[in-house]
Amino acid sequence: MRSFDFLMRQRLAVGLVFLGILIASYVAVVVTEYDVVKGFQSIPKAVIWSSENFYPDEKSLKRLPKIIAKMQETLVTAVTATTCAAFVGFLVAILGANATRPHWVFSIVSRAIASLFRNVDVSAWSLILLFSFGQSMFTGYLALFFVTFGFMVRMLMETIDLSSADTIEALRATGASPSAVITQSVIPTCMPQFVSWTLFMIETNIRSATLVGILTGTGIGNLFDIYYKSLNYHAASLVIVVIVIAVLLIESVSNAIRRVVLQ
Amino acid sequence: MTPPTQMSLPRRPFDRSIALMRFIVVLLFVLTLYGFTALETGGVNMADAWSMLADNAATLFFRPALANVTVSELLVSLGVTIGLGFLTTVFGAVIGFGLALASALNIAPVWLSVLVKGFTAIVRAIPTVLWVLIFAVSAGLGSVAAVLGMTFHSAGYLIKAYAESFEDVDAGSIEALRAGGADWWHIVGQVVTPSAMPALISWTFLRFEINFSTAIAMGAAAGAGGIGFDMFMASGFYLNIREMGAFTYAILIFAVIMELIATRLQTRQTHR
């Protein structure tokens, strides 16, 4: 009897959760004015349209060198922004982590700064930065830098507290100076995680860079936007092919690296 | 007289992972140096731009004010953006759950798993904004294209995340049920789903956070409406920094609340 009650109650709870999600979805459909029927109809339409128009043709292949050059530009921007943000983020994380902070005030300040930079979306940062830096690669670089910085501070603060705390305590007990603690304990113990998070953010930022490029008028995103708006769908699809190849390549390389580094 | 033999510590054995790590750090450093030489600034005077950014940031954060939209319009816009994020997460989760069952190696046939995983890898490689723009050609710019495009990318992401959570399920319990003659549905319903549930919930919530910020971006870059579109107008059309400040705060407050909930979900799980 008792187990029956328990099962019933569990089923009731699961049912209520599903009902809640269903109602919330209905509200979301109304608020966003999403046309469910049109949504379903659009999928086959998009498939038919893509198979007829959205493939690279011979003429578009002539644009390949330009597309690859823009892709390279975007990749370099994403990598540069990520590594700079990772480096600065590491410094701030050392100041803020419980195990290494000079004073508890630093923890609160670093957490607040990281939260601000991380939670304002990369597209919002782009729009804000456009005011002062105009349409240039540097605007995109800064937008990616800001978000990555916020993310890295949060993750590295956790990493320092989780993986370095013991060795830091041991070194402190021997009377080691703060700089010795950082170079002999924090950096060696955090390095694998640091490299892994940096690679992860490079992957993320390559995708974001396309979006940022559309907003700031640079890189591969802008090139896609130009082809798309001039209805040159063959060239636009070639841009997508190049992006897919680049992302898959970088993903598999960074996964392989991560496997060795985090072993 | 023989010279004193030099004392030396035995060499550390060669560590592959440390060597690779050093190589990666050096490589990224070189790439970054190259990146700085390649980074064009569009002829903007950097000193002026930085001081302007400082001014703008001060205006943005300390003097936010609405101008072209009312408070209730702002709330509706925020609701549209949250709605887009929620709806695409639900759709993505439903599709993701089904296809993750077809691609987790411990419960699905290998050929099907390879097929689904390969397909989703390509779906994920295409940035969300491009998915939305592709759908916009046949559905027109607006919420339909945004929902479809964002659903595609969310599903691709959740299939991978869910499948990995399923694969982490203890092989012994699956084996035990299989030995007892349970069929596939029993294994999925009684072992795989319940034991992966905490992981599924936290992945889904994480995706909701991502989709909220993607929904902002789609409003700004793909005409999906919501607070992203309002920001785009304030930035590119009205050039109103104070209004940008109000939108930024609206986004920030919601995102921070979501992050606090996510952190509580996580600690509850790890303390279990």
Nearest to residue A138, comparing CAs of B108, B116, B49, B60?
Answer: B49
**Residue A217, min C-alpha distance to chain B (Å):** 11
Average pLDDT over residues A197-211: 92
Give how far B42 is from chain A: nearest CA, Å. Answer: 5
- What SS3 class is residue B202? helix
pLDDT reported for residue B11: 67
Q: Which residue of A has its CA nearest to B243?
A: A128
For an interface test with A, the pick among B130, B143, B151, B157 (most A C-beta atoms closer than 10 Å) comes out as B130
Q: B261 in helix, strand or coil?
A: helix
Q: Which residues of A touch B239 (CB under 8 A)?
A: 131
pLDDT at A244 over 70: yes
pLDDT at site B75: 92
Residue to test with chain B: of A14, A48, A123, A251, most B Cβ within 10 A: A123
Q: What is the DSSP letter of B213?
A: H
Q: Do B17 and A240 touch (CB under 8 A)?
A: no
Q: Distance, in angstroms, between B48 CA and closest chain A CA?
A: 8
Q: Can you tell me the distance from the alpha carbon of A227 to that of A243, in angstroms, rounded to the nearest whole number? A: 15
Which residue of A24, A49, A257 is in closest CB contact with B138? Answer: A49
Q: How far apart are CA B162 and CA B179, in angstroms?
A: 25
How many CA atoms, within 13 angstroms, populate the side-chain half-sphere of residue B95?
Answer: 18
Q: Which residues of chain B lie closer than 8 angstroms to A116, CB-CB?
A: 252
Average pLDDT over all residues of chain B: 87
- Res B272: pLDDT: 43
| Mean per-residue pLDDT, A181-209 | 90
Q: Do A121 and B216 touch (CB under 8 A)?
A: yes
Task: Read off the tokens for B83.
Answer: 């709605």
Per-residue confidence (pLDDT) for residue B80, from 0 to 100: 92
Residue B97 has pLDDT above 60, yes or no: yes
Pick the CATH number of A58-261 from 1.10.3720.10, 3.90.1170.50, 3.40.220.10, 3.90.550.10: 1.10.3720.10
**B39/A29 touch (CB, cutoff 8 Å), yes or no:** no
- How far is A215 from B22, CA to CA, in rounded Å? 36
Q: How far is A62 from chain B (nearest CA, A)?
A: 22
Find where tokens 């411990």 sit.
Answer: B106
pLDDT, residue B7, reads 63
Averaged pLDDT, A65-89: 93
Residue B90 has pLDDT above 90, yes or no: yes
Residues in B touching A244 (Cβ below 8 Å): 122, 125-126
Of residues A124, A133, A134, nearest to B251 (C-beta): A124
Question: What's the mean pLDDT in A59-66?
Answer: 88
Q: What is the ipTM of this complex?
A: 0.87
Residue B143 has what pLDDT?
86
Nearest-neighbour CA in chain B from A213: distance (Å) = 10
- From residue B48, give the alpha-carbon distance in Å to each of A23, B52, B56, B176: 51, 6, 12, 69
| H or E element that contains A228 | helix A219-229
Chain A partners within 8 Å of B57 (Cβ): 128
Domain boundaries, chain A: 2-40, 58-261
Q: Are A68 and A242 in contact (CB under 8 A)?
A: yes
Give the helix ranges, DSSP H, for chain B: 16-38, 46-62, 71-101, 110-125, 128-139, 143-167, 171-179, 184-187, 193-221, 226-236, 241-270
Task: Tell me which chain A residues have a C-beta less than 8 angstroms from the C-beta of B231.
Answer: 123-124, 127
Residue of A nearest to B253 (CA): A119
pLDDT at position B58: 87
What residues of chain B lie within 8 A of the CB of A27, using their CB?
Answer: 83
In angstroms, the separation between the Cα of residue B58 and the nearest Cα of chain A is 12
Contact across the interface for B87 and A38, Cβ inside 8 Å: no
Taken in order of first residue, the domains within chain B and their CATH numbers are 68-270 (1.10.3720.10)
Gyration radius of chain A over CA positions: 24
Q: Considering just the CA atoms, what is the radius of gyration of chain B in Å? A: 26
Residue A82 confidence (pLDDT): 95
Residues of A whose CB is below 8 A from B225: 32
Query: Using the beta-carbon criterion (under 8 Å), do B148 and A29 form an inter-chain contact?
Result: no
Question: Cα(B82)–Cα(A118) distance, rounded to whole angstroms?
Answer: 18
pLDDT per residue as tens digits for the range B60-79? 889 888 888 888 889 999 99
pLDDT score for B265:
79
| Partner-chain contact B125 A251, CB within 8 Å | yes
pLDDT tens-digit readout, B122-148? 999 999 999 999 898 888 888 889 999
Chain B residue at shortest CA distance from A78: B35
- Identify which of A121, A137, A191 has the shortest CB distance to residue B40: A137
Residue B87's Cβ-side half-sphere holds a number of Cα atoms within 13 Å equal to: 28
Contact B203, B158 (CB under 8 A): yes
Is A98 within 8 Å of A162 (Cβ atoms)?
Answer: no
- Using CA of residue A207, residue A210, residue A212, residue A215, what is the dihedral sign? negative
